[in-house]
A and B are shown apart, each in its own frame.
Chain A
């Protein structure tokens, strides 16, 4: 049952109009434009690389959030899913996971290559991958709450961004701080633990919050 829902989500995202590649392409474009805008000064690029990579990844995640529930709400699928034996909380969790697999995971894979174009210092690559791997699930799952809140709103993308961005800030601060510390050769333990803590808290809380919100939206 879980597998059927997950496979369906992935299939829908990967077929035409699903928008799975959207976040990745946005991420590539933003990062590749930075050296043109900032100039080819390697020390400066290395200095801003961690923050830039994390901000671009966060915005790329944001881009496809409104697809999590909107289509299912509009074509009546959400009603039928609610009546199914699967609890709505489980459904939200699977949708969050599918969003991460199609949006967050490609970013994790592309980030080290793009770090190269920003002359990210060598010791930071491992921690860049690790911080994105640990941090991006929180972005997808916080996104399910925002997506549930704006599910009945037409063209609710802007409202969704306004609601979700403040919630993203802790993840951004600690994620970027992990990479910065690693680039400067300092200890990353505290920031990395806090980043992991935020993600675990979000993974535990978001399915229940988003499911309760969806139930209210269906009235």
Chain B
């Protein structure tokens, strides 16, 4: 199991956000993405989700990024948004994802302490509780590559440690994790990828923007 990214470049809204990003990840490895705001951490993560159109090569378990559907079936993604329906209870939200992704909710509910708020409508949950519910989806899905975008925002210290533990367990079981985070999760043996903002005068290859200065 491995992820290889070669010279990945991405444009959004006519601006080059990522230029020639290359790295590789083996089974059991955790990579932390670092960089200032606007460096393209979220863009890289969404690119690896297959949501964006990018130049360059990326291979996950011998599957090219171009083969979008097969690629996406190996990804578990937790972004800025928790993908929670406020009208449904915590239990209904999580059960839906397990029915769709085909996993079991018990382990996820226990790890993220959702059993105590199982019957609560999601619209009265706190930001931290919503985030726990959003992250619980990772344990339901059982996908090899986790792409996490600031996973510990609005979590307390205990839960942050739990998330770090969950990430460590996933890696120990042979999974791969790519996480963008500003805080130290206390993980050891992680790889680090530093992203820097691409300077604004980098030429784009968009014919519509040529001559636009």
- Chain A interface residues (CB < 8 Å from chain B): 1, 4-5, 8, 11-12, 15-18, 71, 75-77, 79-87, 218-219
Complex CA gap A87/B73 in Å reads 10
Q: Which 5 A-B pairs have CB atoms at the shortest separation, nearest pair first? A: A76-B81, A4-B99, A76-B83, A15-B87, A77-B83
Q: Which residue in chain A gives the minimum CB-CB distance to B47? A: A219
Interface residues of B in 59-79 (CB under 8 A from A): 69, 72-73, 75-77, 79
Further pairs besides A8-B96, A83-B73: 13, Cβ < 8 Å: A4-B100, A5-B100, A16-B87, A76-B80, A77-B84, A79-B79, A79-B83, A80-B77, A83-B75, A83-B76, A84-B101, A85-B101, A85-B102
Across the interface, which residues of A come within 8 angstroms of B83, CB to CB? 75-77, 79-80
Complex CA gap A82/B69 in Å reads 9
For residue B54, give the distance in angstroms from its CB to the closest CB of chain A.
10
Interface residues of B in 139-193 (CB under 8 A from A): none
- Assess whether B107 is interfacial by the CB under 8 Å rule: no
Complex CA gap A163/B87 in Å reads 30
Complex CA gap A77/B78 in Å reads 11
Across the interface, which residues of A come within 8 angstroms of B137, CB to CB? 80
Contact of A83 with B85 at beta-carbon distance under 8 Å, contacts A1-B100, A4-B99, A76-B80 already known: no
Complex CA gap A150/B192 in Å reads 39
Q: Which residue in chain B gives the minimum CB-CB distance to A14? A: B87
Complex CA gap A71/B85 in Å reads 9
Q: Which residue in chain A gives the minimum CB-CB distance to B82? A: A76
Complex CA gap A140/B137 in Å reads 31
Complex CA gap A82/B101 in Å reads 11
Complex CA gap A15/B85 in Å reads 11
Across the interface, which residues of B come within 8 angstroms of A85, CB to CB? 73, 100-102
Across the interface, which residues of B come within 8 angstroms of A76, CB to CB? 79-83
For residue B84, give the distance in angstroms from its CB to the closest CB of chain A.
7
Complex CA gap A77/B49 in Å reads 14
Judging by beta carbons under 8 Å apart, are A79 and B100 in contact? no
Q: Which residue in chain B gives the minimum CB-CB distance to A77? A: B83
Across the interface, which residues of A come within 8 angstroms of B80, CB to CB? 76
Across the interface, which residues of B come within 8 angstroms of A87, CB to CB? 69
Judging by beta carbons under 8 Å apart, are B97 and A80 in contact? yes
Judging by beta carbons under 8 Å apart, are B87 and A18 in contact? yes
Interface residues of B in 27-80 (CB under 8 A from A): 49, 51-53, 69, 72-73, 75-77, 79-80
Across the interface, which residues of A come within 8 angstroms of B75, CB to CB? 83
Judging by beta carbons under 8 Å apart, are A12 and B101 in contact? no
Across the interface, which residues of A come within 8 angstroms of B92, CB to CB? 8, 11
Contact of A12 with B85 at beta-carbon distance under 8 Å, contacts A83-B72, A83-B77, A85-B73 already known: yes
Judging by beta carbons under 8 Å apart, are B12 and A219 in contact? yes
Across the interface, which residues of B come within 8 angstroms of A8, CB to CB? 85, 88, 92, 96
Q: Which residue in chain A gives the minimum CB-CB distance to B72? A: A83
Complex CA gap A218/B51 in Å reads 6
Judging by beta carbons under 8 Å apart, are A17 and B87 in contact? yes
